[in-house]
Structure 1
Amino acid sequence: MDYEKLIDAETWGFIRKISESYADDAVDLSIQEQRAIYDAMCRDFHVARPAIVQTEDLSANGVPVRHYWAGDPTRTVMYFHGGGFVLGGLHSHDDICAEICAQTGYRVVSVDYRLAPENKHPASFDDAWTATQWAADHFESSLILVGDSAGGSLAAAVAHHARGRLKGILAQVLIYPVLGGDMSKGSYIEHAQAPMLTRDECLYYHQVRCNGSPPTDDPRFAPLQDSDFSSLPPTLLVTADCDPLRDDARDYHEQLMSAGGQVHWINEPGLVHGYLRARHSVGRARQSFERISVAIEALGQQLWPYE
């Protein structure tokens, strides 16, 4: 794969800056070392919150969450952070959540779910589900489920599980999500050595969540393992083209279309996994983040902007 041609100079600058603070062989380090490196990288890219945004840290029936708001919001965005189910927390995506809040006018609830390997599946899902139920009750407003990477998996898993259990989920927005696709073909092979995320790293994160072999029929673990894709909320999928996870979204899109769902897939050319951190330095990433924010706002108003 000729990434020199596929990826523009701005994005290569972002990749090089990431490499300065996040080692290529990070998954070979201890969990504590991985988290220390990841946290340092997050600090390097952190942007100050917009002045209009207020925050408070709360407990959602025992799950730590951070509540962002500006004015008097009428919708609640549940945000599930990425990090391979191993890394990240309220700090890692703080500025992303604050900017979504400022740009949409909606409150954002960021979920600090338990991480692997200390907490095996279904711990992360259980926390995501508990926090979502709490937010629906606590704020008495409709919800938009949003997540990136591992968080995209959790957002989708909550959407699947919520059917018949929780009302008021208006949409899901999944950003370069891991959904449980076949890692022996497609983008997993085409982009096995992509900048920012490799197939070997995907395999590592897939395994580290479980005691023993990963499940094969548990949509809480991998939404593509579900047998029923009907009655899901309107769904936006946003992927980076140079990403081994890309085809997970393609396959999920096909399943929702076959089930008669309302779904749209945007595949961003020349972008790489984790590009939300480049939204202030890379034009393509900035435009994609704007598309995501506009979509969240529209979906919160039950408007479908893709006809």
Structure 2
Amino acid sequence: MSLVMIVSIENLWIDGPYGRIPVRVYTPADESRAGLVWAHGGAFFGGDLDMPESDWVARQLADRGITVVAVDYRLAPTLDWATGATGDQAGRFHYPVASEEVTTAFTWAVSVHPAQRWAIGGASAGGTLTAGAALRLRDNDRPPPAAVLLAYPLLHAALPELPAELAAKVATLPNPELIGAEAVSRMNLNYVRSPETLTASYAFPGGHDLTGLPPTFILNADIDPLRASGQQYGAELAAAGVDLAMIRETGTSHGHLNEPDNPAATRSVSRMARWLLSLSDATDTDGG
């Protein structure tokens, strides 16, 4: 695939429910063929617009003809992975702040470029946020995304049991306990603060009513405990009648989109772009 030059990268601030939200807009030089509002990962308490999972991914997608709005949502309090202790809370926010900010960014993109077909997506914790935003948009009679794009996402409040095949692969990781079920539970509680909120569908959509959602693409990392969540969510989407494409990127671990020099990262971005563009092209062919 030949790539085009990015014509512009623009840093903006948009109005949000908790103050202004920084966004970064990546615009292709040629006519944009699709749009994506994108949220980086970082366990809800880390990450920014400059990390590869945000900036490099957005540049790659824009090079392939997709306008990207990357969202710098407000982060949760810091967390010590080993002990579960919460750290700095100054300027930090629990659910639903980040979820509502991602939703706001999508609504803003649609209002500014109404002719563009907009998808919503994210990686890891960003996938959690965007999957929840898709439900929020569905339930509140707001313009829905044309598609949902999730990269190695976490969709459940508790990590589903790992299949034997996946458990054997995860056991080969240097510190599998740091991204195992207990660590995931600590991270999720740190995000929502209240145990009762773990059941909120907009916080963790897995296990809730998924009917009426738009076509969804799930990119799972191969050697990643969170693949159990992605796979289960895919099964739930299929049972709800949602059009689904789900792949496993062989040999990869969680967060590989943060590794621009990893050929698998480029393969994953290419898969994401092809899927988004195929939906857009199909809609154009159908006259939509």
TM-score computed with the length of structure 2 as normaliser: 0.80
Return the alpha-carbon distance in structure 2 between the equivalents of residues 134 and 126 of structure 1: 12
Greater helix percent: which structure?
1
SS at match of 2:136: helix
1:291 maps to a residue whose letter is R
Return the alpha-carbon distance in structure 1 between the equivalents of residues 155 and 171 of structure 2: 17
- Any unmatched runs of 5+ in structure 2? 78-91, 284-288
Give the aligned length. 251
Aligned-pair distance for 1:91? 1.3
2:187 maps to a residue whose letter is Y
Correspondent of 2:63 among 77, 102, 124 = 102
Give the conservation status (yes or no) of the 8 Å contact 1:77–1:107: yes
After the TM superposition, which residues 67-216 of structure 1 pair with which residues of structure 2 at under 5 Å, given as runs? 67-71=25-29, 72-92=31-51, 93-103=54-64, 105-117=65-77, 118-140=92-114, 141-164=116-139, 165-180=141-156, 182-183=158-159, 185-186=161-162, 190=167, 191=170, 194=173, 198-199=179-180, 200-213=182-195, 215-216=197-198
- Superposed CA RMSD: 2.3
2:237 maps to a residue whose letter is L
After the TM superposition, which residues 217-296 of structure 1 pair with which residues of structure 2 at under 5 Å, given as runs? 217-226=199-208, 228-282=209-263, 284-296=264-276
CA shift in 2, pair 1:170/1:75, >3 Å = same
- Any unmatched runs of 5+ in structure 1? 1-49
Find the counterpart in structure 2 of residue 60 from structure 1: 14
CA shift in 2, pair 1:237/1:202, >3 Å = same
CA shift in 2, pair 1:134/1:290, >3 Å = same
CA shift in 2, pair 1:207/1:293, >3 Å = same
1:192-231 per-residue CA deviation (whole Å, 9 max, x = no partner) reads: 67358621442332121132325243121101142x1111
Q: Which moved more, 1:118-127 or 1:67-76?
A: 67-76
1:64 maps to a residue whose letter is P
Aligned-pair distance for 1:237? 0.6
Return the alpha-carbon distance in structure 2 between the equivalents of residues 146 and 195 of structure 1: 29
Identity %: 29
SS at match of 2:199: coil
CA shift in 2, pair 1:297/1:195, >3 Å = farther
Give the conservation status (yes or no) of the 8 Å contact 2:159–2:228: no
1:53-74 per-residue CA deviation (whole Å, 9 max, x = no partner) reads: 4111112222110111023425
